[in-house]
Chains A and B, each alone.
Chain A
Amino acid sequence: MISALLALGLAAGAPFPLPPSPLPVQDTVKGKVVYEKWCAGCHGETGAGDGPAAAYMLPRPRNFTGAVYKIRTTASGQLPTDADLLRAIDEGLAGSAMPAWKGRLSDAERRDVLAYLKTFSSFFADTSQHVVALKFGGEPGGGTSAEALKVGRQFYDSIGCRKCHGDQGRGDGPSAPTLKDDAGFPIFAADLHQSWRFRGGATAADIYRRLRTGLDGTPMPSFSDLIDQKFLTDEQLWRLAQYVRSLSPARTPEVRDVIHAPRLAAALPAAPGDSVWDRVDRYWLPLVGQVIRKPRWFGPAVSGVWVQAVHDGKSVALRVSWDDRTRSPDTTWLGFERRVLETVAGDDSGGGRTAGPFPDQLAVQFPRRIPEGMERPYFLMGTETDAVYQWRWTSAGGSGAAGGAVGGLARGLERFDTLPGGPAAQTSYEHGEWRVMFTRSLATPDTANELQFAAGRAIPVAFFAWDGSSGEHGNRLAVSTWYFLALDQPTPPRVFVTPVVVMLLTLGLGIVVVRRVQRRQA
């Protein structure tokens, strides 16, 4: 009877947060069915986080048997509340393989599965465990003001965030290469410039909560003791959270198909750090693991690139920026790299891989000529018979004018033939960020192999990145599909003339209509 009432309540969408009391037993029976159908593939039949897909993921799926959860509202060491667990199920965990199940499973199914996954650990049945959400105060205002951010930055330095997250927050701190989670898997210090990938949410309030509770099972500790012992005020911790939030764009970057390159009247930027770039729109293009050709790679390190382009009618300049914790080749990360290669399964795992001081690499890909129809070469580096034109940059390259960049033809992933006279490239690496600026004249003598840029056309372009210190090398890389680069044309006069003509015609027509109707009326 009670359970029937409760089921009714659930079906009607009982308000959150749920009470921490355990759900009725019969729910775990239904939960088991849902769990085995939809969850066990990653989390395993016994909840140990060892389903068939687990080895193809980094971070690995949660092991429920220890009841250790990263995203909680409770103190470090405490169990999560039901609402905490339900949040992870409902909204998923950004930046990981965990999807949002709200809308995919019914309300009742999600709650049943919650009840079931708690049965994997005896801690949830232990009534002596306290499950009390911490009391979080409201966010103090003015969180984006320079003053607030300065306070936040001050505490970022004084409480040692940079030890793991690095000076500018890209996860490149001195302790970062040693980090492991409780299961011994390698774990990255979060890149604080990509808040949309934070597991527990992107707002300053989410970040504040993570600072208070820590991420149990990971090296990220709780800072609550500091507040309890008055080493830090609550407001100061909020300022820190607001500072961390300020490192990422205000909104999740939208992926746009066409990269517009404005035409500059002045000279093209001279370096990757040129202030011209600050005034040019930047485009976020996500990259994912190369899982198409053997050996596949399920642990891509570069989650995307920021691309900007400008031209002056003679030459085009393209700047690609991306976050990379390491300036590879870097031997201090060799141990970490080895652990990554051991952790991520693939066609060549189990002895087929060796860690090495690999360089970081980037490839920018174009077709050899601008396609007339919709047909273009195969996005994954062309084919044996239909080559693509690429600019390739490597961090191990010489420091000459080309900065380690060459142009050439790729015929599939395995073959790249260098062409003479590649693009000019300049590079900078600062605090976990690579910036590579390519410059090339729009037209070149080798019209058969090298793309001839033209303004006002949609030029297919794709990007590929390797992080050497994550073991990326050869077919182990992050890829994109085709996007487009459009070099803006100077605005032709008809753009301004046509609307004026159309407006005059409409006005004239309107006056004629009004006159005629009025005359008829009269």
Chain B
Amino acid sequence: MRRAMLAVVCGVFVMASARERRAEPQGGATIAGKIKFTGAKPANPKIDMSEEPKCKAKYQAPPTEETVVVNPNGTLANVFVYVKSGLPESYKAPAPAGGVTLDQDGCRYHPHVLGILVGQPLEIKNSDGILHNIKAKGTKNRPFNISQPTTMTSTRTFTAPEVMVPLECNVHGWMHAWLGVLPHSFYGVSGADGSFSIKGLPPGTYTIEAWQEKYGTQTASVTVAGSETKTQDFTVAGK
């Protein structure tokens, strides 16, 4: 159920970036790949939701944290892959098409990892209807902390690129999400099959970085031309 939702959210992303590509004629190349995972699969800590019966009722098995989500096909979900450098000086980011939604449902964040453009609205939705607070702990962006004790949506924007801005709820210490704030929309988040794709790139040589909350970052250099698709996989070794 959750994975399906994640896939839908990812789909929305793809559609959003596709729409932006139409608005952005600067390039048509794609970098795609998979995040492979090797080694022992770490167990995510179980979450005790007994203080929040409304959330607890949304799960059949006890929910766990999402620090390392290994897919059935041996790949990693929730890895943020983005163009770190290499865009021409002249590149201008497209105006954001709509906002990005972060939902608090079942006392967890959906999605767990997401990207956003500088200036693009982040719509923070409380679907649980119980007290959450949403705290953004950026250092390049001003941190904030909003109370949402009921079903409601608060909107905030970010002023500076920052990978990543940690988001958390202090009422529920297990709730964490990660927000990549970028000056461009060349990013992707690995989904339920471990794959990501960054589309609409102008020709050039790029440094792309893959970020995972526990295992940190890896970078790769990729050169693309025209409308070709280059594959760049990453391998994360479990510890």
Interface string of B132-158 (1 = CB under 8 A from A): 011111010011111111101010100
Task: Report how far A179 CA is from B170 CA in the complex, Å.
Answer: 7
Task: Report how far A129 CA is from B154 CA in the complex, Å.
Answer: 20
Is B163 part of the contact surface with A, judged by Cβ < 8 Å?
no
Task: Report how far A487 CA is from B155 CA in the complex, Å.
Answer: 63
Contact present for B170 and A219 (CB under 8 Å)? yes
Chain A positions within 8 Å of B89 at CB level: none
**Which of A68, A78, A178, A226 contacts B173, CB < 8 Å?**
A178
In the complex, the chain A residue whose C-beta lies closest to that of B130 is A160
Interface string of A154-168 (1 = CB under 8 A from B): 000011100110000
Contact present for B152 and A229 (CB under 8 Å)? yes
Is B110 part of the contact surface with A, judged by Cβ < 8 Å?
no
Distance between A233 CB and nearest chain B CB, rounded to angstroms: 14
**By the criterion of a CB under 8 Å from any partner CB, how many residues of chain B are at the interface?**
26
Is B131 part of the contact surface with A, judged by Cβ < 8 Å?
yes
Distance between B183 CB and nearest chain A CB, rounded to angstroms: 15
Is B172 part of the contact surface with A, judged by Cβ < 8 Å?
yes
A164-B170, A175-B172 given; A77·B156 CB < 8 A: yes
In the complex, the chain A residue whose C-beta lies closest to that of B149 is A159
Contact present for B159 and A128 (CB under 8 Å)? yes
Distance between A199 CB and nearest chain B CB, rounded to angstroms: 16
Q: Which of A159, A164, A179, A219 has the most CB of B within 10 A?
A: A219
Chain B positions within 8 Å of A178 at CB level: 170, 173
Question: Which residues in window 160-210 of A have CB below 8 A to B?
Answer: 160, 163-164, 174-175, 178-179, 182
Is B171 part of the contact surface with A, judged by Cβ < 8 Å?
yes
Task: Report how far A214 CA is from B152 CA in the complex, Å.
Answer: 18
Task: Report how far A39 CA is from B143 CA in the complex, Å.
Answer: 25
Distance between B146 CB and nearest chain A CB, rounded to angstroms: 5
Is A217 part of the contact surface with B, judged by Cβ < 8 Å?
yes
Distance between A291 CB and nearest chain B CB, rounded to angstroms: 31
Q: Give the interface SS of chain A, mostly helix, strand, loop or mixed.
A: loop
Question: Which residues in window 20-69 of B have CB below 8 A to A?
Answer: 51
Contact present for B149 and A219 (CB under 8 Å)? no
In the complex, the chain B residue whose C-beta lies closest to that of A222 is B146
A160-B171, A219-B170, A231-B150 given; A77·B131 CB < 8 A: no
Distance between B223 CB and nearest chain A CB, rounded to angstroms: 35
Contact present for A225 and B146 (CB under 8 Å)? yes
Distance between B48 CB and nearest chain A CB, rounded to angstroms: 10
A163-B171, A175-B173, A225-B152 given; A217·B143 CB < 8 A: yes
In the complex, the chain A residue whose C-beta lies closest to that of B131 is A160
**Which of B51, B133, B142 contacts A221, CB < 8 Å?**
B133
Is A109 part of the contact surface with B, judged by Cβ < 8 Å?
no
Contact present for B133 and A129 (CB under 8 Å)? no
Task: Report how far A158 CA is from B131 CA in the complex, Å.
Answer: 9
Chain A positions within 8 Å of B142 at CB level: 77-79, 123, 129
Task: Report how far A26 CA is from B134 CA in the complex, Å.
Answer: 40
In the complex, the chain B residue whose C-beta lies closest to that of A79 is B142
Distance between A390 CB and nearest chain B CB, rounded to angstroms: 39
Distance between A443 CB and nearest chain B CB, rounded to angstroms: 51
Q: Which of B51, B142, B148, B150 has the most CB of A within 10 A?
A: B142
In the complex, the chain B residue whose C-beta lies closest to that of A128 is B159
Task: Report how far A492 CA is from B137 CA in the complex, Å.
Answer: 68
Task: Report how far A222 CA is from B156 CA in the complex, Å.
Answer: 13
Task: Report how far A182 CA is from B139 CA in the complex, Å.
Answer: 10
Distance between A485 CB and nearest chain B CB, rounded to angstroms: 43
Chain A positions within 8 Å of B171 at CB level: 160, 163-164, 175, 219
Chain B positions within 8 Å of A123 at CB level: 142
Chain B positions within 8 Å of A220 at CB level: 145
Distance between B37 CB and nearest chain A CB, rounded to angstroms: 28
Chain A positions within 8 Å of B130 at CB level: 160
Distance between A48 CB and nearest chain B CB, rounded to angstroms: 13
In the complex, the chain A residue whose C-beta lies closest to that of B173 is A178
Is A466 part of the contact surface with B, judged by Cβ < 8 Å?
no
Task: Report how far A493 CA is from B130 CA in the complex, Å.
Answer: 66
Chain B positions within 8 Å of A160 at CB level: 130-131, 149, 171
Contact present for A221 and B150 (CB under 8 Å)? no
Chain A positions within 8 Å of B159 at CB level: 128
A174-B51, A221-B133 given; A77·B147 CB < 8 A: no
Question: Which residues in window 52-102 of B have CB below 8 A to A?
Answer: none
Contact present for A182 and B152 (CB under 8 Å)? no
Contact present for A76 and B146 (CB under 8 Å)? yes
Task: Report how far A175 CA is from B169 CA in the complex, Å.
Answer: 10
In the complex, the chain A residue whose C-beta lies closest to that of B151 is A231
Is A17 part of the contact surface with B, judged by Cβ < 8 Å?
no
Could you show 13 A-B contacts with beta carbons less than 8 Å apart? Answer: A77-B136, A160-B131, A160-B171, A164-B171, A175-B173, A182-B137, A214-B145, A214-B146, A216-B143, A221-B170, A222-B144, A222-B147, A226-B152
Enumerate chain A interface residues (CB-CB to B < 8 A). 66, 68, 76-79, 123, 128-129, 158-160, 163-164, 174-175, 178-179, 182, 214-223, 225-226, 229, 231
Apart from A174-B51, A218-B145, A222-B146, 11 more pairs, CB < 8 Å = A78-B142, A129-B142, A158-B149, A160-B149, A175-B172, A178-B173, A214-B146, A219-B171, A221-B134, A231-B149, A231-B152
Sort A-B residue pairs by CB-CB distance and give the 8 closest, nearest first.
A160-B131, A77-B144, A219-B170, A178-B173, A221-B147, A221-B133, A159-B149, A221-B145
